[in-house]
């Protein structure tokens, strides 16, 4: 196993073999996760902007009506009266349009519906990659074909592709509850025994209301929620409109991210057990990303999922999962819980990289300093970049113990290297936004 496969930090070019390609199932999961994050960011930035636009237009119209009143009051000629009448017509038209428009609600509804389009795309990509990597799965597809379809196919691979496309299309026509049941039966694995499952089903039912009923609560929605024992904060009333808003929208994005990750990981491990190391490394990398983004709650959920998996590729990845879980717990002030997670593990026999982490989580700064010095410039997992980026060191970086150890190890102050990295990031950002020749034209 190379350092690059399980490095706890962002991988640098020299750490990565030039022939290494990201696993296609990892790509499918990451694509789905980051598309949902895009939706989340759009909602957080542009829905409030739509409200601001609406309020600004209302203020502008109010000001215009006041100006019209003044013009009418001071009008002395027919021309001034005509001018006032023209302004009145324009103001009334704009006011009528504004009163019947709801840009924020339209945007929110569209973004919410798109969350499930992303999920549908993900399930199709996931199933396709699973079948491509395990050809025996095609033998279980039972499909009827027109003779013309077989004649037009240039190879057996085209027939297999057509069969799988039809299989996925049939699956997507079903409700999400039915889809997951089909996948459970097909692959012999439980997929719905997790805490967020009722939240996911309710969110999907809400999506159906928005698409087909303009958000009006139906009997089908109520029955579907009752069937999964979903606990509403407010009892839904037949005929009323479902609520969205940030307190519902944003948690839904996290639920979908969780389901994408767990569904992808569970089927990957179930159907391709020889690829467990790839699956482990992908999950660890995803959790690390959420730690970097300071999305502590999501890192906690995925860490608990990772720790609870029945099998890991190595003791090393198992320990990394526990450390990352403890990091997230520490950041939401659950320090005792964080210590309990790591103190269950036998660290004295571990490499210095892990012993540093154990000391930092237990807030033993002197021990962490000593282990840093013993580790030197680069360990099996920790390198200089880790001290700048790994969230483990987020608070420890500001301590005298850390500063002293860093200086002794690398021969220059931490802050000087941090400033250098900051300048590099600044230059890279400027280059990304530098206008191209086409833009200049």
pLDDT at res. 5: 36
pLDDT at res. 11: 46
The CATH number covering residue 399 comes to 1.25.40
pLDDT at res. 21: 63
Pair (281, 402) in one structural domain: yes
**Boundary of a domain, candidates 200, 222, 255:** 255
Pair (375, 314) in one structural domain: yes
- Alpha-helix runs per DSSP H in 231-295: 246-271, 276-292
Is 300 contained in some domain? yes
Is 390 contained in some domain? yes
Pair (281, 411) in one structural domain: yes
Pair (171, 203) in one structural domain: yes
Pair (245, 330) in one structural domain: no
Pair (154, 76) in one structural domain: no
**Boundary of a domain, candidates 255, 290, 320:** 255
Spell out, as residue ranges, where the chain has pLDDT lower than 50: 1-6, 9-20, 439-441
> Which two three-digit tokens encode residue 26?
């990892």
Pair (317, 226) in one structural domain: no
User: pLDDT tens digits, residue range 145-185?
Assistant: 665 666 666 677 777 777 888 889 999 999 999 999 999 99
Pair (423, 281) in one structural domain: yes
In this structure, the number of other CB atoms found within 10 A of the CB of residue 323 comes to 25
Is 202 contained in some domain? yes
Task: Report DSSP letters for 71-134, one per residue.
Answer: HHHH--SHHHHHHHHHHHHHHHHHHHHHHH--HHHHHHHHHHHHHHHHHHHHHHHHHHHHHHH-
Pair (189, 298) in one structural domain: no
pLDDT at res. 334: 96
pLDDT at res. 254: 97
Is 142 contained in some domain? yes
Pair (251, 120) in one structural domain: yes
pLDDT at res. 411: 94
Residue in the structure block whose two tokens are 């982490």 = 357
**Which residue range is the domain that position 347 belongs to?**
276-432
Pair (96, 146) in one structural domain: no
Pair (217, 366) in one structural domain: no
Is 12 contained in some domain? no
Is 270 contained in some domain? no
CA nearest 46: which of 36, 38, 34?
38
> Which two three-digit tokens encode residue 37?
């994050």
**Boundary of a domain, candidates 225, 255, 285:** 255
> Which two three-digit tokens encode residue 92?
């009334």
CA nearest 144: which of 127, 162, 157?
162
Is 16 contained in some domain? no
Three-state secondary structure string covering 386-434: HHHHCHHHCCHHHCHHHHHHHHHHHCCCHHHHHHHHHHHHHHHHHHHCC
Number of domains the chain contains: 3
pLDDT at res. 436: 55
What is residue 241's DSSP assignment? B
pLDDT at res. 94: 82
Is 157 contained in some domain? yes
């Amino acid at each position: 196993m190379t350092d690059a496969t399980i490095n706890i930090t962002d991988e640098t070019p020299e750490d990565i073999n030039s022939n290494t390609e990201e696993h296609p199932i990892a790509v499918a999961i990451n694509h789905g996760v980051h598309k949902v994050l895009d939706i989340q960011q759009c909602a957080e930035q542009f829905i409030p902007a739509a409200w601001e636009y609406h309020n600004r237009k209302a203020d502008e119209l109010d000001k215009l009506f006041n100006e019209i009143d003044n013009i009418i009051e001071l009008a002395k000629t027919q021309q001034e009266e005509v001018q006032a009448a023209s302004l009145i017509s324009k103001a009334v038209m704009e006011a009528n349009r504004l009163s019947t428009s709801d840009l924020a609600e339209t945007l929110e509804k569209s973004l919410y519906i798109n969350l499930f389009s992303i999920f549908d795309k993900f399930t199709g990509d996931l199933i396709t990659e699973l079948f491509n990597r395990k050809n025996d799965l095609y033998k279980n597809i039972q499909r009827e074909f027109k003779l013309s379809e077989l004649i037009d196919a240039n190879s057996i691979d085209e027939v297999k592709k057509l069969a799988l496309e039809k299989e996925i299309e049939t699956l997507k026509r079903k409700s999400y509850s039915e889809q997951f049941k089909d996948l459970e039966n097909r692959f012999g694995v439980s997929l719905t025994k997790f805490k967020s499952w009722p939240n996911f089903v309710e969110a999907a039912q809400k999506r159906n209301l928005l698409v087909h009923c303009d958000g009006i609560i139906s009997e089908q929605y109520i029955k579907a929620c009752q069937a999964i024992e979903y606990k509403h904060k407010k009892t839904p009333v037949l005929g009323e409109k479902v609520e969205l808003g940030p307190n519902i929208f944003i948690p839904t994005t996290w639920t979908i991210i969780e389901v994408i990750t767990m569904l992808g990981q569970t089927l990957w491990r179930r159907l391709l057990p020889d690829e467990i190391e790839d699956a482990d490394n992908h999950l660890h990398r995803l959790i690390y990303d959420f730690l970097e983004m300071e999305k502590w709650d999501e890192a906690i959920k995925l860490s608990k999922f990772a720790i609870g998996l029945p099998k890991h590729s190595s003791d090393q990845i198992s320990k990394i999962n526990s450390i990352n879980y403890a990091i997230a717990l520490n950041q939401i002030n659950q320090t005792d819980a964080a210590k309990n997670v790591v103190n269950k593990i036998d660290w004295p026999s571990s490499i210095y990289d892990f012993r540093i982490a154990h000391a930092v989580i237990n807030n033993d700064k002197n021990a962490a300093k000593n282990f840093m010095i013993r580790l030197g410039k680069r360990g099996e997992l920790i390198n200089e970049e880790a001290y700048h980026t790994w969230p483990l060191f987020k608070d420890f970086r500001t301590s005298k113990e850390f500063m002293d150890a860093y200086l002794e190890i690398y021969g220059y102050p931490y802050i000087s290297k941090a400033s250098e990295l900051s300048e590099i990031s600044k230059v890279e950002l400027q280059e990304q936004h530098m206008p191209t020749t086409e833009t200049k034209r």
